[in-house]
Amino acid sequence: MSITSRTILACVKRLSGVSGVRRAVWAYVRSAPGTYVWLTILFFTTVALHHMSPEFEQDFLRQRSTNIHELSRHPVRVLVASAMWIDGGHWLPYVVLYSAFHAQVERWLGTARWLAVCAAAHVLATLISQVALAEAIRDGLAPQSSVNTLDVGVSYALAGAVAVLFYRIPAPWRYGYLAVVLVVYTVPITAGPTFTDFGHFVSALIGLACYPLARGRGKLRNPKETAAVPPG
């Protein structure tokens, strides 16, 4: 066989490998459509933010924030709109986080149940944290200007998805996972907490409270077991 033939065969194999990776990635994306549609929306809104001046961006996001002022005037609109923007403008880290957590939960529970977990965590944690903030303002523990604070993002829904994934992991591994989740969301509220830290903690508790949605959906295979897992 000539050198040229070997080179051609090597290129064909390399292209076949790349094609296989592409198929695998596309199959993974198709298995969690809600996750990646949401990520696509966040991509375009993040690009839009990068084309705004800093002053306009702050005013624009504040009008879509789930702060006390906007919730009292346009609750439904801001609860939906706030989940379509990322404060800070860094989209790529969310590709990793969504793929690691949201996509896993959606593939496991199905799109409808995954969306229910996300909505419960986002809406309930927002309302509870803002009620707590209103109490803090009333008691003089937070400034009056906090009613107009900037509060957009997807972290509450993400915390709910991270927490509900606990039910997907078999024992004893799930308890180590739960310990990490509790540390991540509990430590911030013990050291200089903000209403957002409190909201993250509440979101994680809401995710854990979504057990009825997870019941009977199956678990990941225990690495010590050789039997196949029944389909979820």
pLDDT > 60? residue 17: no
Long-range interactions of 24-32: CB distance < 8 A, separation 24+: 28/99, 28/103, 31/103, 31/106, 31/107, 32/102, 32/103, 32/104, 32/106, 32/107, 32/111
pLDDT at 18 over 70: no
pLDDT of residue 108: 95
* For range 57-73, the mean pLDDT: 93
The pLDDT value recorded for residue 225 is 39
* Confidence check: pLDDT of 144 > 60: yes
- Under the banding of pLDDT at 50, 70 and 90, the label for residue 231 is very low
The per-residue pLDDT for 219 is: 56
Model pLDDT, residue 217: 73
Mean pLDDT of the chain: 87
Distances (CA, A) of 117 to 32, 161, 170: 15, 7, 20
